[in-house]
Amino acid sequence: MKPAPFGYLRPESVAEACEALARHGEEARILAGGQSLGAMLNMRLVRPALLVDINRLDTLSKIEVTNEAVITGAMVRQADALADARIRNNVPLLSMALPHVGHYQTRNRGTLGGSVAHADPSAEIPLVLATLGGEVELKSARRTRRVRAGDFFRSALVTARAPEEVITALHWPAAGQRTRYAFEEFSVRGGDYAIVAVACALDEERRSVRLGFGGCGEAPQVVELGYGPEAIAQIAADAAGKIECRADLQASTAYRRNLAVVLARRVLTAASMRQAVSA
Amino acid sequence: MIEVRASEKVRIRFILNGREIGGEAEPRMLLADFLRHVLHAHGTHVGCEHGICGACTVLLDGRAVRSCLLYAVQVDGAHIQTVEGLGPGEGKLNDLQDAFRRHHALQCGFCTAGILISATQFLAEYPQPSGDEVREMLSGHICRCTGYHGIVEAILDTARRRAAAKAQHERAG
């Protein structure tokens, strides 16, 4: 199908984008990589009056590394993030998750910020951001603010972003020296929506683990538990017992929860093995 | 800043297969439709129109992207390469296309243009890929004729021949 008619606005600065959003409010949609929005437009699931195309705002494509975090501009393409050594070294969990995002061809165009803005319940990038306790930076004509991932993802396709705000950057906490990571997901076909995805950040020093579950509820769900290498099966079962699991055409609640247990066990095992190798 | 009303047509210019071209389109016109219906470049095929099947894949500034998820107005000033731009001349095949023929990597041909385009970027990025890497890249395309085996073989064969040619060139040079 073809999209319903829309106006097109291409700003030359973030300020111009904010101004356009202030003027048009909910009538406008921001066009980032367009790998989700484009499909929704073509299927006429959305009919915005105006698209604000931020693809030429080069200031949103930067990657910055500080002592505490890696800050990725909202328009960093998924393929570029996957190839970036700074991300691989400082946010390894994101590098592990990115191969599961869409396909080779859609990662060429799809962006980190676009995936976060879209907030699909099974999307990997929001899941990693929530698991790591990262933040979303938002800008409007009036103010700039940062929202914790846990507060940002409210429900399926619903976020804390106001209609006049544009996501400008994502803040990814830098990997702890003694934290080990792993990522696993199950989908029917490669690149398809994950029925369940699990991200793991295992802090060896604090003997605690954060397990993030995607595809289970309406938004990423993160459980933090104590960790001991002898208790992996128990931790996986406990974590999966604490989350909400929805039912849909692909999987029942019981199936999803079982899958969550299995994948949680796998990521815990993989992360603890990494610990053994580097010790 | 550029602002175009929904009903307004905008003039678009870009480089298609090395030649500067132009045309007019409303903002909602997909790049795939602009190529086919305005420029009459029918080599790029349109399948699902939501980014899954891969038939409409073109190179945008050297990167394989879905032309059904791009609007023509977005690529103003860009370099676009389609299947028509792969061969060395009218009716001639490049090495990758020739490998597709030798390995029976197509039957109906509907998906082929998109796969050739993806493989073009992929081989530039991964000159000596593994079969698994080729399959991972190919998961972004749907082919209902071949079962993919011939396609994987054709891409691996092209990689091997290019590597051999490069080694020979380096020895000679």
Q: Predicted confidence band at A192 (pLDDT cuts at 50, 70, 90)?
A: confident
Nearest to A29 by CA among A42, A14, A43, A41: A41
Domains: count for chain B: 2
B2: in domain = no
Which stretches within A108-252 are classed as H helix? Answer: 112-118, 124-132, 149-152, 232-242
Distance from CA of A100 to the nearest CA of B (A): 10
* Structural domain of B29: 10-85
| ipTM score above 0.85 | yes
Q: Predicted confidence band at A225 (pLDDT cuts at 50, 70, 90)?
A: very high
Based on the domain organization, do B46 and B101 belong to the same domain? Answer: no
Structure tokens at B56: 């409409």
Whole-angstrom distance, CA of residue A95 vs CA of residue A203: 18
Residues sharing a CB contact under 8 Å with residue A129, sequence separation 6 or more, in sequence order: A116, A136, A149, A170, A172, A220
Based on the domain organization, do B60 and B105 belong to the same domain? Answer: no
In 3-state terms, what secondary structure has residue A64? strand
Class of the domain covering A58-173 = alpha beta
Structure confidence at residue B110 (pLDDT): 98
For the domain spanning A179-278, the CATH number is 3.30.390.50
The phi, psi pair for B153, rounded to 5°, reads: -60, -45
Contact (CB, 8 A) for A199 and A267: yes
Nearest to A183 by CA among A137, A231, A134, A130: A130
Of B24, B51, B85, which residue is a domain's last? B85
Interface test with B, best of A8, A19, A78 (most B CBs within 10 A): A8
Task: Compute how many other C-beta atoms are within 10 angstroms of the C-beta atom of residue A189.
Answer: 9
CB–CB of B4 and A79 under 8 A?
no
CA atoms within 13 A on the CB side of A158: 6
Based on the domain organization, do B103 and B164 belong to the same domain? Answer: yes
Whole-angstrom distance, CA of residue B9 vs CA of residue B4: 8
Nearest to B62 by CA among A79, A74, A57, A59: A79
Tell me yes or no: is domain A7-53 CATH 3.30.565.10.
no
B119: in domain = yes
CB–CB of B50 and A3 under 8 A?
no
User: pLDDT by residue (tens digit) across A108-148?
Assistant: 999 999 999 999 999 999 999 999 999 999 999 999 999 99
CATH of the domain at B146: 1.10.150.120
The single-letter code of the amino acid at A13 is: S
Residues sharing a CB contact under 8 Å with residue B155, sequence separation 6 or more, in sequence order: B96, B99, B119, B122, B123, B129, B134
Structure confidence at residue A279 (pLDDT): 43
User: pLDDT by residue (tens digit) across B106-158?
Assistant: 999 999 999 999 999 999 999 999 999 999 999 999 999 999 999 999 999 99
Of B29, B64, B85, which residue is a domain's last? B85
Based on the domain organization, do B121 and B148 belong to the same domain? Answer: yes
Contacts of B28 in chain A (CB under 8 A): 2-6, 41
DSSP states along B14-83: EEETTEEEEEEE-TT-BHHHIIIIIS--TTS---SSSSSS-TTEEEETTEEEETTSSBGGGGTT-EEE-G
Structure tokens at A55: 């693809």
* Smallest CA–CA distance from A109 into chain B, residue: B65
